[in-house]
A and B are shown apart, each in its own frame.
Chain A
Amino acid sequence: QVQLQESGPGLVKPSETLSLTCTVSGYSISSGYYWGWIRQPPGKGLEWIGSIYHSGSTYYNPSLKSRVTISVDTSKNQFSLKLSSVTAADTAVYYCARIVTDYYMDVWGKGTTVTVSS
């Protein structure tokens, strides 16, 4: 059974970098699929952030591309998100997910809440 678990600080100061890690169990990242991040601001809809393949190739949402970096560590079966220069608008629940080649998500983590505040 594939499971994903997000981890990282729940509070980040404005202008700093948000860093989250997703640990995958029950499946080897190196075996295939894309892996990615989606977020949901309070009371709002879902927003695609970006994705990565085990080879390291990435795709980012153009609206966030200048601030986003997604990386993968196949030895730890983890992938990570960095979002720089955060503001209050980046406050959201952040989900990691397994992404089918066509770019829909078939397995999700439980999500982690990140608040941007001084």
Chain B
Amino acid sequence: EIVLTQSPGTLSLSPGERATLSCRASQSVSSNYLAWYQQKPGQAPRLLIYGASSRATGIPDRFSGSGSGTDFTLTISRLEPEDFAVYHCQQYGSSPPTFGGGTKVEIK
């Protein structure tokens, strides 16, 4: 199965700053089938990005996804207070679908 490694484990930033999160796959992700989710404490994950770069319904345009093959990036252009959370990547190009370990974006 494909192993996803997210880095950094924790990102300490201030509101208004730019956040860049990485997700690296152990092998190429077929058709760039990679999704990103946001999870706040005590809540379920929320779909942000699918297909590596397509924003889900209702997601603000400060969230963007990019990448292909084995290297993917989630960028939050200007952090809002509600963006401090854990972010998970998931590949669904190969079976079984797998998730990364998550990146926590915390307030500096």
Q: Does B47 contact A (CB under 8 A)?
A: yes
Query: Judging by beta carbons under 8 Å apart, are A61 and B96 in contact?
Result: yes
Would you give 20 A-B contacts (Cβ < 8 Å), ordered by A? A45-B100, A45-B101, A46-B45, A46-B88, A46-B90, A46-B99, A48-B97, A62-B96, A95-B45, A102-B50, A102-B51, A103-B33, A103-B92, A105-B45, A105-B47, A106-B47, A106-B50, A108-B44, A108-B46, A109-B44
Give the complex CA separation of A35 and B35 in angstroms. Answer: 17
Q: Given the complex, which residues of A lie within 8 Å of B45, measured CB to CB? A: 46, 95, 105, 108
Chain A contacts to B: CB under 8 angstroms: 44-48, 59, 61-63, 95, 100, 102-106, 108-111
Query: Judging by beta carbons under 8 Å apart, are A45 and B33 in contact?
Result: no
Q: Does B56 contact A (CB under 8 A)?
A: yes
Chain B contacts to A: CB under 8 angstroms: 1, 33, 35, 37, 43-47, 50-51, 56, 88, 90, 92, 95-102
Could you list 17 further interchain pairs (A-B, Cβ under 8 angstroms) beyond the known A104-B92, A105-B45?
A: A45-B88, A45-B102, A46-B88, A48-B96, A48-B97, A59-B95, A61-B96, A62-B96, A100-B50, A102-B33, A102-B50, A102-B51, A103-B33, A104-B35, A104-B47, A104-B90, A105-B47
Q: Given the complex, which residues of B lie within 8 Å of A45, measured CB to CB? A: 88, 99-102
Query: Judging by beta carbons under 8 Å apart, are B44 and A95 in contact?
Result: yes
In-complex Cβ contact of A48 among B37, B51, B56, B98 (8 A): B98
Give the complex CA separation of A104 and B96 in angstroms. Answer: 12
What number of A-B contacts does a CB cutoff of 8 Å give? 51
Q: Given the complex, which residues of A lie within 8 Å of B37, measured CB to CB? A: 105
Give the complex CA separation of A63 and B1 in angstroms. Answer: 10
In-complex Cβ contact of B44 among A61, A63, A111 (8 A): A111
Chain B proximity of A66: nearest CB distance (Å): 14
Query: Judging by beta carbons under 8 Å apart, are B35 and A48 in contact?
Result: no
Query: Judging by beta carbons under 8 Å apart, are B44 and A110 in contact?
Result: yes
Q: Given the complex, which residues of A lie within 8 Å of B90, measured CB to CB? A: 46, 104
